Amino acid sequence: MRIAHLIITYTDSLQTERFIKRMQHPDFDFYVHVDAKLPISSHHNLISLPNVYLIEKRIKVQWAAYSTVQAVFNSLQEILDSKRGYDYISLMSGQGYPIKTPTQMQQFFKDRDGKILLKYRSFQDDWLEGMERIKRYYLADYQFKGQYFLEKWINRLFPNRKLLPNIKFYGSSMFWAISPEAAEYVLAKVDRNKKMKRFFKFTWAPDEFLFQTILLNSPFASKVSNENCHYYKHKPLTPSPKVFNIKDFNDIIASDRIYARKFNMKESPEIMDAIDLYIDEQIKLENIN
């Protein structure tokens, strides 16, 4: 199966280079969106790698803002415009890392052929915190003095935000693996629809619920499998997943997922080294068999 790995990154280019090298396979391509707050030259080391493409239409990404979604949308459009023909587009971050061999990754996708891999919970039934993300107005994309004061007054003046009609909201992790057809559907439904785009633009962290909400309210809903490709440890009521260290090794290699996050090569290189050694042994066994 041919896979486009879409990497959204603002971190260490050497770490991104390392995990791309670990994932080399004839059917794997890599599209890298480098946050526009960084010069593109900061990631020029990636250009020499095979099957790597730097996204041209870059976005300055703000935390928990719609700009993250726009970065993904711009990247998806460039992937679709490439006409290379993929079975899956898999979203990753610059702090991810492979925890399976490329052959095992291929088999993971083959076993799920035709499915959309998208973790989700219902806002109304299972994730009440999610409702707060859409009931109020948020200005996360707008960084200026007095931003939060203005946001507070907007919500006082307009306390009952009108939600999208006949839509049930779902969300969870921002990372997924979807078909090009599903990607085109989401782009048409939101990125090319001013009304829909305006609604999501003033929500909180829409990257964690936009794709789930759109696809689970679409003809693609029956294809959605409530899973993604990543292993992570994320304690409830904390803003981010744990950054792994060597103590997490056994849990990581026991996972049935193909990637894990988060890693920091500068702070805890030993966990990545241990995973590499383990994967190299797995590759040797594959070559013997």
Mean pLDDT of the chain: 96
Domains and CATH numbers, the chain: 3-288 (3.90.550.10)
* Cβ burial 81-112 (10 Å sphere, 16+ → b, else e): eeeeebbbbbbbbbbbbbbbbbebbbebbeeb
In angstroms, the CA 30 to CA 20 distance is 8
Confidence of residue 277 (pLDDT cuts 50, 70, 90): very high
Confidence of residue 239 (pLDDT cuts 50, 70, 90): confident
pLDDT at 143: 87
DSSP 64: T
In angstroms, the CA 208 to CA 212 distance is 8
pLDDT at 121: 96
- Kindly report, residue by residue over 187-232, the tens digit of the pLDDT: 999 999 999 999 999 999 999 999 999 999 999 999 999 999 999 9
Model pTM? 0.96
**AA letter at 31:** Y
The dihedral built from the CA positions of residue 17, 19, 22 and 24, taken in this order, carries a sign that is negative
Residue whose C-alpha is closest to residue 58's, from 79, 48, 72: 72
Structure tokens belonging to residue 22: 């670990």
Within 10 angstroms of residue 51's Cβ, the number of other Cβ atoms is 17
* Coil/strand/helix, residue 210: helix
pLDDT at 7 over 90: yes
